[in-house]
Each structure stands twice: as structure tokens, then as C-alpha cells.
Structure 1
Amino acid sequence: MPAIAHGSFDRRRVVERVIHDGAGTARGGRSTTVGPSGTMRGSMIVRTTQLTIPEPFSLRATALSHGWHECAPMHWCDAAGCLQVIERDGDMPVRLSMVDAPSRGGQARVRLTVEADEISDNTLSLMRSRAGVMLRADLDLTGFHALAAETPVLKPILSIGAGRLIRSASMAENIIKTICGTNVNWAQAVKMINRIAQLGPYIRNHRNLNAWPTCGEILKAGDDYLLGVARVGYRTKSIRAFCRSVVDGAFDPDALDAVARTESTDVLCKRLTAISGVGPASAAFLLGLLGRFDKVGVDSWTIAYTAERYFNGRKPTVRQVEKLFARYGEWRHLAWWFEQWQQWETAKSMLNGGNRHQGPRARRHQA
């Protein structure tokens, strides 16, 4: 898992990192204006823009809403309050850095800094759109916030701006990461994901800052890489089959966002479970990333949590767990998630007003 230091940092220097040349000499100490395409920092173009998101919202609570922030190409720096993501525009890697900006008129704002070799208006617009998808800026969660305000177990999350689930902009990336996270503890899943991420293009002179690879790039690396380097084990077959279906045009994962706005949950769930390596619990998790929250994924962690909290230590059936959260209707996935999320040390720290980050507790869950 990426090691993020939590010492004392100058926020500006963390957010606006210097780009170094191959000899390690700092070249980005000053920014030089280059006209409408932005500024130069070293040999990189830098442009900034903003996102607006309805309150309540917190970048930190959203970034730490689940474990994606521990997986490349995302990196969270708690000291700077900065979420960094390496994206791509075609074959060109692009570094995105996001920090909270002062809110205005009931709208939270996030400052987005974009760095790349070239940044056209189209690239800037594309990166802004993808950052919005990552933070779920487009979702209307008014109904969930109203539910949380009336539900004692959920009400605390409103005070820290929680309620949105971070995701990768690409659904192909979300799906492969989800497959890596099944039937394994989280620390092992992070290692698998980060090794796969190394297949993508990287920021010049920063070999460890990779964008997520395309399905074609993963196929080109082959089973030897997936088995011997990424060490994904039996998941190799599922990842290969998924990537092949995308490359061959048999499946378009990035069409799922549009499909999720029109199809029923059951039909959408069938689409997801048709993917090799995606079972009912993984499908429910992916539905949440697509903005559909009316299905709870019941895996071993869900069973363990609900047994302890609601069934006096007795193992409940899947049906009992589903019935338990059915009262939340279309918001049941978010209600379940942010109820149990408050038990994580990350959430406890925020709820107690702290700034200490610990990742999700190690867990093993089923597909």
C-alpha cells in the first residue's frame, strides 16, 4: 500500500509539487506564465479550475469513504488535505491535485490543479469532468441527507461532510479493483492493485506515478505479469476475460454510467454479475459507485458487523440482513455503508475533530 507520511508539511509545497529532471535537480521552483494554456512548472504545464458540490461535503470524508484512496493511481495526503490522482488523456499521463476551497452560497468548492506535458482546453475540461465523477459531484443526495438527519445512527456523518463514495472515473478500473478485492484481506488487495497500476503510463521522471492501464495494456502484459508480479492468483482468469471483452468490443464498462440512469437495479445487477469474478456482493458495491443505492451487498464483513451489532453475536442470514436495511429504501446501501464506516479509525478521528488517518481495517470479503 502507498506509504503516506503524516508529519508537518507546507500545504502549498505538497499540493504544488516540484517536477524534477532525471538527475534529480529541482526545476519547478518558479512558475512561469505561458498564456492561455496555463503556467510552466519546470517542464510541465499547470492549469487550475474549480468544482462545486452541494453541501454538506468534505473532500477528506469523501476521499476516505473507502479504500480506493490507498490504491494507485490515487494518493491521499492527510497533512495537506490533498487528493492526488494520475489520470490520462490518451497515452499522456495527467496529474490531478484536489484540495478544499472556501464554500460559497451553500456550495462546497474544490480547487483542481492539472499538470501535464500539454493541457488544451479539451484536456482541462475532460479532467474537470473526471474529477467530478470521482467525487460524485453530480449526485443529488438531498434525500439521503434528510434521512440521515432523522436517523440517530447516521446523523453524525452530516457534521463532517460525509455521504459520498469516492470512485475511479473509469468503470473498467473500478471493476478490476473490485475483482482484486474479493476473498482477500485489504492489504493484499492494495498490493495487487498497485502492481497492476504500474502497467500504465507514468509522469515523466516519476516512475511510481502511473495512470491506470487500459485493458489492452493489461492484456499485453499477459498472465505472467498478473500471476508472477501482480500476484492476483485465480483472479487472473477473470481479469483477462474482462479485459478481452472490453478490447473486443463485447462489453463497454464506461457505458454503465448512462445505463444506470435508465435501467432497473435488477437488470443492472445482472449486467454486473455477468462479469467473471463479480458476485452479488461485488455487484452491490459497484452499483453504489454507479449511484444506485437500493441494494446492500451482503458479504462476510456485512454478516460479521450485523451479527455483532444487531443479532447478539448470532450469524444472520442474507435475507435477515437485507430486511434489516430495507427500511432505508432507495438509500439502503449508503445507510449501511456509512453506519459501519463510523467504526473505522478514519471516521472516528474525523468525528472527534482529529486529523489522524488510518485506513480501513483489514478485512476479507466474498465476491
Structure 2
Amino acid sequence: MPLASLRLTPTPPFNFAETLSSHGWVVLAPNTYHKETNSFSRIEELPGGAVVHLRVSAEGENVLIRAESAATLTAAQKNVIKTRVAHMLRLDDDYSTFYKLARKKGPPWAILARRGLGRMFRSPTVWEDAVKTVLTTNIAWGGTKRMAATLVNKWGAPSPLDPKQRAFPTPQAIAAVPLKKFEAKAGLGYRGPYLHQLARRLSAGELDLQVWLDPSIPADDLYRQLLAVKGIGPYAAANLLMLLGRYDRLGYDTIYRDFVSAKYFSGRVLPLKDMLAVYDDWGEWKFLAYWFEMVMAEE
């Protein structure tokens, strides 16, 4: 069982532990969060079908990736692993203007830069992020975890080192399952047909979700593209924008409503425009301001 040790060097400020705990995705299959060792692991299927075990942790100022595989990894496979983990941890994103604005605002915001807060954990592919976002709609977190685990356990590629452990299923794996069978086995409710159709479109080459990462696409155009996908409404689109590195639109849900009403309006629920206007002065960073204000309030 060959084991490769790969390293990434983040641009400071970077806080590995805070990045892992910044978003609930870290506990959704096929991710496993190891809080006691400040690390996470997952099974990852690479282009060509190789399936590897990844364990990601901090090593001083670096990020250490331990990749275990059935066969020795090629240089190209190692580069794919490094690129995907860097994407998950947002190592290539620039938060300098966010930190500048936070410092300008003073306490408690200035602590964001000192602690290296701002990066939010995400999936290695837009496909996985899109699926998991749809799984969060109109359901409690426990239901989201159950559905993600079902998709992985039923249609994810098994590891040759331990067939009980599986990767996140590819669009091709989902598209190959007849719709009726998928609905019956997945237990996703109304989400099933939407995700099955999305998988079929991706598998047929009709749609490429990775292009949504292109920063040159105007934010409003990207938002409209997201809404054009069946199953993605305003809430899901706003959360996907955040996962794509666009923070200028807020996702209004019960969590946002309850936090903002308690924090700013003495428990009163105001009209939507007033609830959303709370973070207007953060401009392109308003989602991050909301999210990390909530994180700091919970500490």
C-alpha cells in the first residue's frame, strides 16, 4: 500500500483548524472530521478511476496530505490531489481586502485577520458542492447527513484498500442508475429527480459546473445561471455562490433570520429587505461578515 506525503504552503494568514470547523461540509460523507487530531480524511476518486485515501492535517505552517493508494501514484495524480485539497481549503483565494475592511471596523471584526478566519471549507468539485447544497434544503441537518451518506454508500466508487469506504459518486455513476431505482434507493424525496437530471446533463456534456468558478463571470449572471438549474432556488443559489467564492449575496433561511433578529432587532423579524441590509456595508464580503459574526457569537 504505497503512501505519498504531499505538502501545500498557504499564504498567511491561514488557520487550518478554523478552516476545518468553518463549515458543516467537513462532517458530510465522504469526509470524516478528526477533531482530536485537527485533521480530516476522505476517500477520493481521481480521473481515470483510481481511488485513494486522503488524510489532511497541519504541519507547522504547511498543509500535509497523506495519500494511500493501491498503486504508486503518478506525478499527475499527485498534482490532482494537491489541487483538489487546495480548493477545499481555499488556499489560492485572496482575502486581503476582507481583512482590510475588518481591521478598519475595529473590534470585534479585527480579530478575523489576526486569527486567519475567512476561508470556508468546501468540496473538491462544484458537482459535490451542488449536490450537498440541494441536500440542505427544507430539512434538518441530520437528514442532510443521512442523504449524503446514502449517496456515497450506494453509488460511490469503493476503495480497493477497504471496499466499505467509498468516494463521492460521480455524475456518471448517478446517471447510470434508472430514475425510478435512484428515487427508491436514494430516499432524497423531491430532490431525487433534480439531482438525477443534473447528473444526466453533466454526464452528457450538456453542462459544466466547473466553469462557475471563473471569476470573470459577473455575479448577477452567475446567480441567474445557478437559478436556471432545476432544484436550485434563491437560498441554494446564494449558498452555492459562497462556495464558489462569491460573497456578495446572502442566503436567507431560518438560521440567518433567527441570528440577525436576535443580534440586531431584539428578537423582532423585520421585512426581508431590512434583515438583509444589516451587512450591506461589507459589499462583496457580506456573506463572510454574516457567517463569521455568527461563528464568533457562538464561541
TM over 0.5: yes
Matches within 5 A, 1:38-53: 44-53=1-10
Amino acid at match of 2:171: C
Amino acid at match of 2:34: C
Query: Which residue matches 2:25?
Result: 68
Greater mean deviation of Cα atoms: 335-344 or 138-147: 335-344
Query: Which residue matches 2:120?
Result: 165
Flag the structure with higher helix content: 2
Aligned residues: 295
Per-residue deviation, residues 246-294 of structure 1 (Å, max 9, x unmatched): 1222211122212xx1111100000111111111121111111111111
* Mapped pair 1:219 → 2:175: yes
1:97 counterpart SS class: strand
1:221 counterpart SS class: coil
* Mapped pair 1:263 → 2:217: yes
* Mapped pair 1:253 → 2:220: no
Matched residues in 1 for 2:131 and 2:110: separation?
A: 33
Query: Which residue matches 1:94?
Result: 52
Per-residue deviation, residues 135-172 of structure 1 (Å, max 9, x unmatched): 00010111112222333243334444321011111101
Matched residues in 1 for 2:54 and 2:222: separation?
A: 31
1:163 counterpart SS class: coil
Matches within 5 A, 1:1-367: 44-89=1-46, 90-103=48-61, 109-118=62-71, 119-151=73-105, 152-198=107-153, 199-224=155-180, 226-258=182-214, 261-344=215-298, 348=299
Per-residue deviation, residues 64-100 of structure 1 (Å, max 9, x unmatched): 1111011111111011111112211132111221111
Matched residues in 1 for 2:9 and 2:268: separation?
A: 45
Matched residues in 1 for 2:148 and 2:31: separation?
A: 11
Matched residues in 1 for 2:109 and 2:235: separation?
A: 22
Query: Which residue matches 1:37?
Result: none
- Please tell me whether the aligned partners of residues 147 and 187 of structure 2 are also in contact (alpha carbons under 8 angstroms): yes
- Please tell me whether the aligned partners of residues 23 and 122 of structure 2 are also in contact (alpha carbons under 8 angstroms): no
Please say which structure displays the higher CA radius of gyration.
1
Measured on the aligned residues, the alpha-carbon RMSD in Å equals: 1.6
- Please tell me whether the aligned partners of residues 219 and 244 of structure 1 are also in contact (alpha carbons under 8 angstroms): yes
Instruction: Point out where structure 2 has 5 or more consecutive residues left out of the alignment.
Output: none
Matched residues in 2 for 1:228 and 1:153: separation?
A: 49
Amino acid at match of 1:290: L
How far the C-alpha of 1:230 sits from its partner, in A, is 2.9
1:95 counterpart SS class: strand
Percent of residue pairs bearing the same amino acid type = 28
TM-score (norm 1): 0.77
Matched residues in 2 for 1:208 and 1:319: separation?
A: 48
TM-score (norm 2): 0.93
